[in-house]
């Protein structure tokens, strides 16, 4: 073994694994494009006040429905607000919803799926039937019903999406767990006296992380679309918040004459969803063990 393989610390060992991953990731141009779009979105959200050219909320009736040009890069809406600025600020809402959904639904799905797969028997039967019930109801319908009960708003919209997003994660985590439940390395740690909780959290969770990450990345595109959809029908973010879906909804009335009012936030949604799909594809190529066999 070469000197490069000497790892004097666990941190360096992990760093080395990360570097090797980064090297392979860099060879995928679409994945890099997706990563760039994702990072750009975060950059926009953080530095929105610096990048903005106007105030996102202050109406300017003199400049109503101005076409894209030198002063208003992407035009203005029916209240004369700069669409570029509003898209910038809207990225914060998009990230907030995506993050809220991901950080609630993925852990719930992971935990239920792994517990279900590891214990099997009646635990599995009960948890999976609950999962089935949620899977059987159309996503948007369930989200709609939830928002209708709790009232519209960003947080409620995100929680509604969470309600529909966790069952696929549970299924995925359960499948991964079943594949390793009887593996020798699980038997070995059980023989060391580890409790089921320790086996699940320290040994089975890490096995699920890669496929969960791939799935979550793909789902981000879907989450953005559903959030925009809820905003569009008036059940998500409420005016005057610059949520992209709500912006499209308000632009709908002028779609033939002042197309940019709806088209610009639409393009933003399109680019960001596409970016997460690219990223998901690239991650799957690198992380999915089944895809590796095919290559």
Partner 1 sequence: MIKIDNLDVWYGAGARETHVVQGASLHVERGQSFGLVGESGSGKSTILRAISGLVPRWGGAMSIDGIDARDGHRGPQRPKYLRKVQMVFQDPFASLHPKRLVGEAISEPMKINKMDDISERTDALFAAIGLTPSHRYRYPHELSGGQRQRIAIARALALEPDVLLLDEPTSALDVSIQAEILNLLERLRQERGLTYLIVSHDLAVISHMCSRLAVMSQGRIVETLDRDVLAHGKAREQYTRDLIAASR
Site of interaction with partner 1 (CB under 8 A): 5-10, 12-13, 17, 183-185, 187-194, 198, 202-203, 206-207, 209
CB of 38 to partner 1, least distance (A): 24
Closer CB to partner 1, 1 or 136, in the complex: 1
CB of 207 to partner 1, least distance (A): 7
Q: What is the DSSP letter of 67?
A: P
Closer CB to partner 1, 170 or 186, in the complex: 186
Burial of 83 (0-12, 13-18, 19+ CB in 10 A): buried
Closer CB to partner 1, 96 or 209, in the complex: 209
Closer CB to partner 1, 32 or 194, in the complex: 194
CB of 124 to partner 1, least distance (A): 15
Q: Name every residue whose Cβ is closer than 8 Å to that of residue 79 and which is 6 or more positions away in sequence.
A: 59, 60, 61, 64
CB of 15 to partner 1, least distance (A): 11
CB of 205 to partner 1, least distance (A): 10
Query: How far out from the chain centre does Cα 120 lie?
Result: 29
CB of 8 to partner 1, least distance (A): 7
The Cα 8–Cα 10 span in angstroms is 7
The two three-digit tokens of residue 243, written as one number: 């949520």
- At 191 the three-state DSSP class reads helix
**Could you tell me if 242 and 231 are in contact, meaning their C-beta atoms sit under 8 angstroms apart?**
no
The Cα 252–Cα 232 span in angstroms is 10
Closer CB to partner 1, 89 or 118, in the complex: 118
DSSP string, 111-148: HHHHHHHHH-HHHHHHHHHHHHHHHHS-HHHHHHHHHH
CB of 209 to partner 1, least distance (A): 8
The Cα 214–Cα 191 span in angstroms is 32
Q: Name every residue whose Cβ is closer than 8 Å to that of residue 98 and which is 6 or more positions away in sequence.
A: 220, 223, 224, 227
Closer CB to partner 1, 53 or 201, in the complex: 201
Closer CB to partner 1, 86 or 203, in the complex: 203
The Cα 123–Cα 113 span in angstroms is 11
């Amino acid at each position: 073994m070469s000197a490069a393989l000497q790892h004097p610390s666990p941190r360096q060992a992990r760093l080395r694994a990360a570097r090797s991953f980064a090297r392979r990731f860099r060879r995928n141009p679409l994945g890099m494009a997706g990563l760039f779009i994702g990072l750009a979105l975060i950059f926009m959200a953080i530095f929105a006040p610096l990048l903005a050219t106007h105030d996102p909320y202050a109406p300017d009736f003199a400049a109503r429905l101005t076409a894209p040009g030198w002063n208003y890069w992407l035009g203005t809406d029916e209240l004369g607000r700069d669409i570029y600025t509003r898209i910038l600020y809207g990225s914060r809402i998009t990230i907030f919803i995506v993050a809220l959904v991901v950080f609630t639904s993925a852990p719930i799905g992971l935990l239920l799926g792994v517990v279900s797969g590891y214990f099997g028997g009646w635990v599995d039967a009960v948890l999976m039937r609950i999962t089935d019930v949620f899977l059987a109801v159309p996503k948007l319908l369930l989200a709609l019903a939830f928002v209708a009960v709790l009232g519209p708003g960003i947080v409620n919209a995100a929680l509604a999406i969470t309600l529909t997003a966790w069952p696929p994660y549970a299924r995925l985590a359960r499948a991964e767990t079943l594949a390793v439940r009887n593996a020798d390395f699980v038997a070995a740690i059980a023989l060391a006296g580890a409790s089921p909780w320790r086996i699940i959290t320290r040994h089975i969770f890490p096995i699920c992380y890669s496929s969960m990450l791939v799935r979550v990345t793909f789902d981000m595109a879907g989450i953005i679309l559903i959030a925009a959809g809820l905003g569009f029908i008036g059940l998500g973010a409420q005016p005057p918040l610059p949520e992209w879906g709500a912006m499209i909804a308000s632009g709908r009335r002028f779609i033939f004459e002042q197309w940019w009012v709806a088209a610009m936030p639409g393009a933003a949604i399109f680019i960001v969803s596409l970016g997460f799909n690219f990223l998901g594809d690239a991650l799957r190529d690198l992380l999915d063990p089944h895809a590796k066999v095919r290559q």
